[in-house]
Amino acid sequence: MPRVAIVTGGGTGIGAAAARLLAANGLGVVVVGRRREPLDGVCAELGHAAVAVAADLGEPAAPGFVVEQALAAFGRVDVVVNNAAVIRNGPLDSFTRDEFDRHYAVNVAGPFFLVAAALPSLRASEDAAVVNVSSSVGSMVKPGSMLYGSSKAALEYLTRAWAYELAEDGIRVNCIAPGPVDTPIHATYSDDLEATHADLARRIPLQRMGNVDDLAAWVWFLVAPESRWTTGNVIHVDGGQVLGLPASAGG
């Protein structure tokens, strides 16, 4: 029976591209997000290989519900891709307590309790993998990035902690840290997308923003048998962003 992956944020952007590639490689896929419509769109493309679960991963009951639904649909969970996240940038004194809690609820507690809820199934799998999706700002400070970036730094720490703790169960845990990728997420904080994209691309040593397939390829690789001796890594898939500004832009 094929392996089954839960992909959070699987209705759009990087998550949808990852869901498509996992399904193309024979996995059953459970796509999770708050909005039904984009999830149904991905499932319509993938047919019997995919099911949609609408859930808000910032809510405490969501992780258990998602795993329950995955088991009801496919009877197993072998892979968890923690990709859903929220972002708002701003200075220290601009954030409300609710915004702080929401970032940590969705970006940290969601992945934490989803993996915990999936553990019995992951332990039963002969080839289990967790892939967390962080960000280049999990390891580099950018203006206004403190709340989102610190939540991603926490996810990177969890990657190493889970990799260590779960190694004896044969569960591999890795993380990709994307640089700027052209997805709907930028519209959630920018009023001028064109200017935001131009500014982001200007700062990338490889001179362009990423596209979703640049990232999906790494999600698949970290689930694929070829990465079977790799665990606890945070892999920067970012056009060189963490190295600094392009030399031509002043380094």
Ligand X SMILES: NC(=O)c1ccc[n+]([C@@H]2O[C@H](COP(=O)([O-])OP(=O)(O)OC[C@H]3O[C@@H](n4cnc5c(N)ncnc54)[C@H](OP(=O)(O)O)[C@@H]3O)[C@@H](O)[C@H]2O)c1
Question: According to the binding rule CB under 6 A, does residue 145 interact with ligand X?
Answer: no
Min dist. Cβ of residue 33 to ligand X (A): 3
Question: According to the binding rule CB under 6 A, does residue 70 interact with ligand X?
Answer: no
Helix (H) or strand (E) holding 174: strand 171-178
Helix (H) or strand (E) holding 221: helix 212-223
Min dist. Cβ of residue 170 to ligand X (A): 26
Question: Site for ligand X (CB under 6 A): which residue of 5, 6, 7, 14?
Answer: 14
Binding residues among 195-234 for ligand X as defined by CB under 6 A: none
Question: According to the binding rule CB under 6 A, does residue 149 interact with ligand X?
Answer: no
Stretch that binds ligand X, among 28-36, 118-126, 223-231, 242-250 (CB under 6 A): 28-36
Instruction: Please name every residue paired with 131 in a beta bridge, in sequence order, or none if there are none.
Output: 81, 174
CA-based nearest residue to 10, from 44, 38, 45 = 38
Min dist. Cβ of residue 41 to ligand X (A): 11
Q: How far apart are CA 127 and CA 113, in angstroms?
A: 20
Q: Quick one: DSSP state of residue 125?
A: -
Helix (H) or strand (E) holding 122: helix 110-124
Question: According to the binding rule CB under 6 A, does residue 180 interact with ligand X?
Answer: yes
Nearest to ligand X of 119, 177 (CB atom): 177
**104 included as an active-site residue:** no
Question: According to the binding rule CB under 6 A, does residue 63 interact with ligand X?
Answer: no
* Measured CA distances, 200 to 21, 54, 197, 206, 241 (Å): 26, 31, 5, 12, 10
Burial of 238 (0-12, 13-18, 19+ CB in 10 A): buried
Q: How far apart are CA 50 and CA 177, in angstroms?
A: 25
Question: According to the binding rule CB under 6 A, does residue 150 interact with ligand X?
Answer: no
Nearest to ligand X of 83, 231 (CB atom): 83
| Given 148, 157, 164, 189, the catalytic residue | 148
Question: According to the binding rule CB under 6 A, does residue 85 interact with ligand X?
Answer: yes
Binding residues among 106-135 for ligand X as defined by CB under 6 A: 106, 133, 135
SS3 assignment, position 34: coil
Question: According to the binding rule CB under 6 A, does residue 40 interact with ligand X?
Answer: no
Min dist. Cβ of residue 57 to ligand X (A): 4
Q: How far apart are CA 161 and CA 119, in angstroms?
A: 15
Q: How far apart are CA 90 and CA 125, in angstroms?
A: 42
Min dist. Cβ of residue 135 to ligand X (A): 3
Residues that bind ligand X (CB under 6 A): 8-9, 11-15, 32-35, 38, 56-58, 83-87, 106, 133, 135, 178, 180-181, 183-185
Catalytic residues: 148
